[in-house]
Chain A
Amino acid sequence: MTYSSEAAQEKRRSFLDPRTKLALVIVLALFVLGGLGGEMMEPIKRVLSVLPFLMLLAERQWKRFFRGLLMLGVGYGLLFVMPYLHGVLNFLALMCGGILTRFVVTIVMGEYLIATTTVSEFISAMERLHMPQAITIPMSVMFRLFPTIVEEWRAIRRAMGMRGIRLGGNRAGEVLEYQMVPMMTSSVRIGEELSASALTRGLGSPVRRTNICRIGFRVQDGILLLLCAATFASWLLELCGVKLW
């Protein structure tokens, strides 16, 4: 059978529109991570915290789902054993548990956004939000810069191990400094080469960009965006002193 890019794009269409994903990341960051809102918001926050995990299930991202769940489990576990511990251990358990339970949900949502959104979908979504190119382009570069930097980082760690420079080995004190030197040189070089390549392919043109990806709001987007709006609304109501329950 001959390949059809149109059919392939339709098939790999994500469960949610990138704009919905972005809205969810913002809401989670503000309310769950940032701790905005008082007691009345607690039940809403609990609902919000479940969402990223549901999304991962919907996209069949099993590995990310279980990893997130495990981190969250460790966090609550630490908070649970915390009262039985003394001294430094008590403090450590409180700190790690607190950080994990707060951060994990939002990080999982961010991971979900990055893992299930192609660069093309992201740019397309930002354009529909009328974001200027000056914001869209640097943000879209992030999508590929992070994996690139992770790859470089691994290669450098490997090289250090091979050279016998490690904690507890030759010159342990300088390990961090030694990692940064090649990291910076190669990041600068890769950044430069990436820009050169993108520019020779017409990035930055004043012509209105088109996109081959399929995005757009569907029922599930509507429901989740309503939920986001409801979160903001109840927060405002709480600020005004209205009690819903």
Chain B
Amino acid sequence: MVELKDVSFRYGSENAETQHQNSLRNVNLRIPTGEFILLTGPSGCGKTTILRLINGLIPQFYPGEIQGEILIDGQSVSNRELYDTARLVGTVFQNPRSQFYNVDTTGELAFGCENKGMQAEEIYRRIDGTVQHLHIEALMDRNIFRLSDGEKQKIACASVSVAEPDIILLDEPSANLDYEATLALRDVILRWKEQGKTILAAEHRIAYLWDLIDRAVILRDGQIVRELRGAEKDGLSIADLAAMGLRSTVQEAPAKLDLPAFQEGDEAIELYDFHFSYRGTGREIIRIDSLTLASGEITAIVGANGIGKTSFLNCLCGLEKRCKGMLRYKGKTYGRKARQRLCFMVMQDTGNQLFTESVLDEVLISLPKGTESAREKAVEILRQLDLDDLLDRHPQSLSGGQKQRLAIACAIASGREILLLDEPTSGLDYGHMMQTAELLRQVQRMGITVLVVTHDSELIRACCGRMLALTAPT
């Protein structure tokens, strides 16, 4: 049994803004053993904070001011050492790139048990059991750096399984996963549920586990605003959910949406001979002899994890030297170098593409050399994207959504005609997803062609007029 008794919490950060975000106010929650609970609500509502209080990362790793009590089986967590809590609680985190200690998968599965000082024979037995249970034979004895995000998340789940904790916490585990991979994750959770584990999941994408949960706890501004169970939970309409700032509970495969890639009357962007394989593999992951896209539209690019959607964007942008494809647009042919000046990509990790010390400077360096009255122009673009009150902020201190907006401002400033986005809505709540959709429509109205790689059916419904489904070359 996990209990939160009148818990309030503030992060011990100097920045008043982040202090208010993610804090908790008077939260009461009782989770009987074996229950599966979903914590959901808009970004910054405090759902991750609740998980951190239970696994002990708060206050041991993230310091702050706690009031109230957090109890596991009647014993307080906050004063306990992290390695003691680790025996009871296992956590799967959001970012598949930064939750592994080992470089090889087998070592990673054993890691938790090794830390407990368990005998090697017992660890072997448990690993073999988990591997069989989760059908991950093909992932064993591999280098973790060579796995796709979906595969990494499976390894993260398996390493929790091997440690056999009674309580399992999931912190937005599906944020980087495609439709198929979320179904696989759902299977894993189902098995944990059968084993009688107590499960808490913090998620925006609620569709894939909505029918598995016993209770949905909805948070807003650090408070529990509603608890749903049984018939009340099943009877909610999509409009009710949207009003609470929640995503759809209907699981929908993006590939099932019926949108053309190109239709009569569209102006064409033609691609020829796009071939690409990773160095040393020899296996082509992209093999496009010819393809037509619609100019001036918002096109969704869908396909399973690891099919090469991101590589396709890289090739299109001219970032892959070994991809010799050509692009025809408005009667002109663009080679690799020319495409670098035609396309702008908003990457998944937007922070990696912002380099300067202020928002204004970021847009200034994007304007073509020798632009007249550059400052006025830059401010005007920032004003259109509602960033003009942040001119002097450091780009790295912005929120995820603001960084995305800024990157798009840079794209507009650069005058490039094709905007590519890589999973712009992964880990976004309903409100922010709709904002991104509106932003994309705004960019489209400026005459810019938008291509967006996504697994988010709701985003596609909200703004995309065309769709391209990438499949593996046969």
> Is the Cβ of A203 less than 8 Å from the Cβ of B115?
yes
> Is the Cβ of B120 less than 8 Å from the Cβ of A186?
no
A8-B140, A144-B101 as given contacts; A201 in contact with B132, CB under 8 Å: no
> Is the Cβ of B131 less than 8 Å from the Cβ of A5?
yes
Q: Chain A residues near B115 (CB, 8 Å)?
A: 201-203, 205, 207, 209
B402 CB, min distance to chain A CBs, angstroms: 15
User: 8 Å CB contacts to A: which residues of B90-146?
Assistant: 90-91, 93, 95, 97-104, 106-107, 109-121, 123-124, 127-128, 131-132, 137, 140-141, 145
A120-B114, A201-B159 as given contacts; A3 in contact with B101, CB under 8 Å: no
> Is the Cβ of B111 less than 8 Å from the Cβ of A185?
no
User: 8 Å CB contacts to A: which residues of B41-86?
Assistant: 55-57, 60-62, 81-83, 85-86
Q: How far is the CA of A163 from the CA of B90 in the complex (A)?
A: 41
Instruction: Say which residue of A182, A198, A204 sits within 8 Å of B352 (CB atoms).
Output: A182
Q: Chain A residues near B365 (CB, 8 Å)?
A: 163, 165, 170-171
- Of the candidate stretches A77-85, A89-97, A189-197, A227-235, the one touching chain B is A189-197
B349 interface residue (CB < 8 Å to A):
yes
Instruction: Say which residue of B56, B110, B163, B317 sits within 8 Å of A162 (CB atoms).
Output: B317
Q: How far is the CA of A12 from the CA of B140 in the complex (A)?
A: 12
Q: Chain A residues near B98 (CB, 8 Å)?
A: 148, 189-190, 193-194, 197
A115 CB, min distance to chain B CBs, angstroms: 10
A227 CB, min distance to chain B CBs, angstroms: 29
A211 interface residue (CB < 8 Å to B):
yes
A155-B347, A163-B353, A190-B97 as given contacts; A200 in contact with B55, CB under 8 Å: yes
Q: Chain A residues near B90 (CB, 8 Å)?
A: 200-201
> Is the Cβ of A211 less than 8 Å from the Cβ of B114?
yes
Q: How far is the CA of A140 from the CA of B108 in the complex (A)?
A: 13
A213 interface residue (CB < 8 Å to B):
yes
Name the residue in A2, A141, A162 with the highest tally of chain B Cβ atoms < 10 Å from its Cβ: A162
Instruction: Say which residue of A141, A190, A196, A213 sits within 8 Å of B61 (CB atoms).
Output: A196
> Is the Cβ of B353 less than 8 Å from the Cβ of A200?
no
Q: Chain A residues near B107 (CB, 8 Å)?
A: 118-120, 212-213
Q: Chain A residues near B106 (CB, 8 Å)?
A: 5, 8-9, 212
Interface of A is mostly: helix
Q: How far is the CA of A3 from the CA of B357 in the complex (A)?
A: 52
> Is the Cβ of A155 less than 8 Å from the Cβ of B349?
yes
A182-B354, A197-B93 as given contacts; A212 in contact with B347, CB under 8 Å: no
User: 8 Å CB contacts to B: which residues of A163-200?
Assistant: 163-165, 170-171, 174, 177-179, 181-182, 185-186, 189-190, 193-200
Q: How far is the CA of A46 from the CA of B234 in the complex (A)?
A: 76
Q: How far is the CA of A161 from the CA of B353 in the complex (A)?
A: 10
> Is the Cβ of A3 less than 8 Å from the Cβ of B396?
no
Residue of B nearest to A209 (CB): B114
> Is the Cβ of B341 less than 8 Å from the Cβ of A164?
yes
A158 interface residue (CB < 8 Å to B):
yes
A68 CB, min distance to chain B CBs, angstroms: 17
Residue of A nearest to B144 (CB): A144
Q: How far is the CA of A212 from the CA of B110 in the complex (A)?
A: 7
A8-B140, A207-B116, A209-B115 as given contacts; A3 in contact with B159, CB under 8 Å: no
Q: Using an 8 Å CB-CB cutoff, how does the interface string of B351-375 with A read, 1 for contact, 0 for none?
A: 1111111000000011001000000
Q: How far is the CA of A162 from the CA of B341 in the complex (A)?
A: 8
> Is the Cβ of A163 less than 8 Å from the Cβ of B102?
no
Name the residue in A147, A155, A160, A210 with the highest tally of chain B Cβ atoms < 10 Å from its Cβ: A210
Residue of A nearest to B163 (CB): A201
Q: Chain A residues near B354 (CB, 8 Å)?
A: 181-182
Residue of A nearest to B122 (CB): A210
> Is the Cβ of B351 less than 8 Å from the Cβ of A162?
no
> Is the Cβ of A210 less than 8 Å from the Cβ of B117?
yes
A39 interface residue (CB < 8 Å to B):
no
Q: Chain A residues near B123 (CB, 8 Å)?
A: 210, 212
Residue of A nearest to B344 (CB): A162
Instruction: Say which residue of A120, A190, A207 sits within 8 Å of B102 (CB atoms).
Output: A120
Q: Chain A residues near B117 (CB, 8 Å)?
A: 205, 207-210
A197-B91, A197-B99 as given contacts; A203 in contact with B340, CB under 8 Å: no
Which 4 A-B residue pairings sit nearest by Cβ, starting from the closest? A205-B83, A178-B355, A202-B115, A159-B353
**Selected A-B contacts with CB under 8 Å, 8 pairs:** A140-B101, A158-B319, A159-B347, A159-B353, A162-B345, A181-B355, A206-B83, A207-B83
Binding site for B on A (CB under 8 A): 2-6, 8-9, 12, 118-120, 140-141, 143-144, 147-148, 151-152, 155-156, 158-165, 170-171, 174, 177-179, 181-182, 185-186, 189-190, 193-213
Given contacts A144-B101, A197-B98, A212-B114, 8 further A-B contacts (CB under 8 A): A3-B128, A160-B355, A162-B340, A163-B414, A190-B97, A201-B101, A207-B116, A210-B117
